[in-house]
Amino acid sequence: MKKNPILKIFLSLLVLAVAVLYMYPIIMIVLNSLKVESAISTNTVFELPRSNSFNGLNNFITAITKQGFLQSFFYSVFITVTSLISILVCCSMCAYFITRIRSKVSSFLYYLFVFSMVVPFQMVMFTLAQTADTLRLNTPYNIFIIYLGFGAGLAVFMFAGFMKSVPIEVEEAAMIDGCNPLQTFFLIVLPILKPTIVSVGILEAMWLWNDYLLPTLVLDIKKYMTIPMLIQYFRGSYGKVEMGPMMASIVLTVLPIILVYIFAQKYIIKGMTSGAVKG
């Protein structure tokens, strides 16, 4: 059936309009990060930077040199990297066990992980904060254990879906050649999981990097602040909010994860669809 060209143009314009609406806040943040403070706090906030309002890179310099931005950046990077590695390694091994060891226990574990995806975080956040304090999981160096628990649902679901499409004959051939189960997983199965590893890694990294609520509940804000926490508490002298440096810090925060997503978005689609059809 031939598509109506008018309908095609209308749908294209509609999608373009929605894309502009989604991009508008980001564009406004970038523009205002280049303005002086007075131009942001007045009705000129929606205007392009002019000669009398353009502040160059001064806001970015202020954002980096004040408020402990570099320390918070380190905390965010450390939490993201350690949590991501834990999620990818542990959840891929768990999914391998669930799909290869068919039993009531493995089925129960699988549905338990799936169920965890639909439980709202607000239901457990107060209990989580108390448990984290009791177990001393309230520093950036061990909070990855908590993130492992919250990120396992999606990761195990995606890894298990892909593992079902991997022929078991490949693993049997490796075991005949003398590989033990750990060698089979890390040398044979893990390279096959690469599309799903990349897609899960990107999705989880975006969540870990931008997460504000969980670190705020668990970490001591007087000692540790991640980047989202720092932006929330960005203050100048006498408690005044410095909009220019705050806008610049937001740009510095979202830029890395946006670049990663742009260059790796094709792997997300590939990883999401690779396990949809059993081979």
* Res. 48 pLDDT band, cuts 50 70 90: confident
DSSP string, the chain: -PPPHHHHHHHHHHHHHHHHHHHHHHHHHHHHTTB-HHHHSSGGGGSPP-TTTB-TTHHHHHHHHSTTHHHHHHHHHHHHHHHHHHHHHHHHHHHHHHHHS-SHHHHHHHHHHHHHTTS-GGGTHHHHHHHHHHTT--STTTTHHHHHHHHHHHHHHHHHHHHTTS-HHHHHHHHHTT--HHHHIIIIIHHHTHHHHHHHHHHHHHHHHH--HHHHHHS-TTT---HHHHHHT---GGG---HHHHHHHHHHHHHHHHHHHHHHHHHHHHHHHHTSS--
**Could you read off the pLDDT of 109-137 as tens digits, one per residue?**
999 998 888 888 888 888 888 888 888 88
Instruction: CATH number of the domain at 215, please.
Output: 1.10.3720.10
**Could you read off the pLDDT of 79-102 as tens digits, one per residue?**
999 999 999 999 999 999 999 888
Mean pLDDT of 234-252: 73
Has residue 35 been placed in a domain?
no
pLDDT attached to residue 75 = 93
pLDDT attached to residue 45 = 66
| Number of independent structural domains in the chain | 1
pLDDT attached to residue 276 = 46
pLDDT attached to residue 240 = 66
Residue percentage of the chain with pLDDT more than 70: 90
pLDDT attached to residue 54 = 82
Has residue 115 been placed in a domain?
yes
Mean pLDDT of 179-187: 86
Has residue 256 been placed in a domain?
no
* Res. 277 pLDDT band, cuts 50 70 90: very low
pTM of the model: 0.83
Q: Is pLDDT at 275 greater than 80 in this prediction?
A: no
Has residue 38 been placed in a domain?
no
Owning domain of residue 105: 68-235+263-274
Has residue 51 been placed in a domain?
no
Has residue 167 been placed in a domain?
yes
